[in-house]
A and B are shown apart, each in its own frame.
Chain A
Amino acid sequence: MLALQLAWRFLREGRTQSLLILAGVTIGIAAFVFVSAIIEGLQVNLLEQTLGSQAHISVAPEEAPPRPLMRDPGIAFARRIEPSEPRRRPFDQWQRAVRRVEATDGVVAVCPKVSGSALAYRGAAEEAVKVVGADAARLRRIVDIPANLVDGQYRLGGDEAVVGTSLAEKLGAGVGDPIRVRSGDRESVLRIVGIFDIGNEMVNGRWLVTSLRNAQTLLGRVGDITEIDARVADVYEAERIAREVEARTGVPTESWMERNRDLLTGLRSQDASTTMIRIFVLLAVAMGIASVLSVSVVQRRGQIGILRAVGTSRAIVLGVFLWQGVLFGLVGALLGALVGALAGELIESSALFDITVTPRLLLTALAVSLATGVLAAYLPARRAARLDPAAAIRGDE
């Protein structure tokens, strides 16, 4: 308690010096919070855009290799086999695989689905589409279509289908309109009940979502599915969970991290540069605190000697300077967080993504600032505690 009381009085006495270094710590922590919030906001936005329309994990049997149509072994001729439209092998015992994926730690949602290419017609308009068939309730936990509906409803019963805004526009169709969908020699007529805008042109322009049964019939996969999609609680754990799912099901499994290696590399590079900025900012803050406290120890040699002479222990003298570091760190963190959050608010209106100063970021800034304050204060504090009181009182070096 005495150490804290004396620390406060020392800071109050050297008011100008204290305010200057406090301003330095505040600016440093504000920069820390601001840069972290921006990068975090940017990354969350990028991830949302990327993962908003795709599963974190996809479990799907290998594609069947293309086969030559001519099979007469007695005839030799030069040939080149062009890969046809990817056609997956049947998903054996997919219901059991779904249960195994659901039972894997970290998985929060599972959706068996069937997807494949088809052509959609309305009047003279003809568009290539990706038919996605799934249970409506399960699919919305993987891709939140209801939250992105711009017209109609999210229902996948009977002949109902929902499509993206771009596809609806290209087909000239609206809610309530029927469209013909053809895949190979199979054809269905579906009725558009909802139009969504998921923020991804590939999805908005191609997806035609309908019930699992409709899609199975249309794509010639009755009773079968093409993949199992899953969502995990922590997106950065997806790769590890994917390997576990693969081991449990015995079916090839791919995570979003594998599918989006370039994005992941970009995010990691961003993380590395943010970390470097944070380290340099904290080093500047630490050096500021350390230099001010070092000067303070020199200036107060006589006072430290008197404190020791009147019975103050070395531990308390050490504490006096450590507390100063703590107070700089604490007050600087609070003011810096406020300034950083305000700066984030100011810039958010011109940014294309949310800049949110989360409680976790504030707690991190507080902890980092306190640790920096204490570490920066340690050397000057140790020097003060080790001063020879007799020499300090005499004013000797």
Chain B
Amino acid sequence: MLDHLSFESPKPKVIAGAKHDWELVIGMEVHAQVASKAKLFSGASTQFGAEPNSNVSFVDAAMPGMLPVINEFCVEQAVRTGLGLKAEINLVSAFDRKNYFYPDLPQGYQISQLYHPIVGEGEVIVDMEPGIARRVRIERIHIEQDAGKSIHDMDPAMSFVDLNRTGVALMEIVSRPDIRGPEEAAAYVVKLRQILRYLGTCDGNMQNGNLRADVNVSVCRPGQYEKYQETQDFSHLGTRCEIKNMNSMRFIQMAIDYEARRQIGILESGGQIDQETRLYDPDKNETRSMRSKEEAHDYRYFPCPDLLPLEIEQAWVDDIKASLPELPDEKKARFVKDFGLSEYDADVLTADTANAEYFEKVVDACGDGKLAANWVINELFGRLKKEDHDITDSPVSPAQLAGIIALIKADEISGKIAKDLFEIVYTEGGDPAEIVEARGMKQVTDTGAIEAAVDEIIAANPDQVEKAKQNPKLAGWFVGQVMKATGGKANPKAVNELVAKKLNG
């Protein structure tokens, strides 16, 4: 099995400052909400959009004396995610308290895993374009609780707090600073989300906040990054700023771009970067310091006395590993290798599992990967997009599409008629072969019939015949006329041959 197609690394993004060139260095912390029914340490629901404070247990509300009990499913999803990122799984991990005060954190601390995370080093291959990809190292994944939600705009003097999200399980996926530009950063999140969705461990819904990214940005002079990679010594890199809570690919790119230019401006005028947390404001397209939280940055972590270490068995990890689905990189490599698809087409077809499943059903039924890819990508996706349909509610089933392709392969219908047939199947449904039969759409391969049509056109257009004798390119006009006269049903190859023969003869 091929893990990934071969690739080369992209060039880092270079930003020209007023004085000299700069490169970007980016690391990300992605918070992915575990797709569980209940919370990490309580039996309250994780359902989005519920009545405020209804999905809250006494544990989540931090009532005195309540104790957390871990949700085994959430642990399993973290392990699964780790395995999906080819990471080492730590059979013993432990929970720590991260202490800070905020109205949406009733415990006064977040239960997290600072010292002993459940997942260690892994990697994500971030595809940029065919043959170009960035290998981003994953440093760790740990499990932690989400906080509640504060709403600041419902009352002029008060903030409103909803604890429904409090205690929902998050996986924090921490990358190494291996990302080298805004586009790569967005592509990294896209790829991560794709893998999480394949694994089924997080739904990746960024609008609901189920996937959010903290982006660490620093800038350095060309050459410095290579020194860092050689030594893993951060002193070769610039001071970083962390942009918190990004939940849109577009904003991630804009925020990084703004932040890099801000840092370059400071450095080139002789200033220094303060390591700090910043917030991106999409309305103004700028990042702002969150100085108000500075004081709280001493989190005084310590092991959570309410929870024993989390010990898991290797056999259990092996079971999870055995149940992993084929992941995007492998699927893509297989599509390229087995069906002779271009990397671009394979990319489109493996973007999500529903696309890939549909495509594979079509291939299974018609036996032609390349044709199937063409039809799924160009005709079906195009048509679905036009009507804002999803592949899962496609009016054309894989069997129907395979039926159309089979008719083309058997020379029963021409490519042009196939498109008409597709339209009929899309809007009216039905069996493609029966439709072709019932509506007389069959391709005319009978040379006698085609010959008659060619003769008729030639006889009716003596002027064109003269011109065509001088300029052989005009033969195309006759082919067009014959196709028109036969309602597009004539076999184009046969028409071409006959027209050429008659005009020259």
**Do A and B share a complex?**
no
Residues of chain B touching chain A, judged by Cβ–Cβ distance below 8 Å, are none
Residues of chain A touching chain B, judged by Cβ–Cβ distance below 8 Å, are none
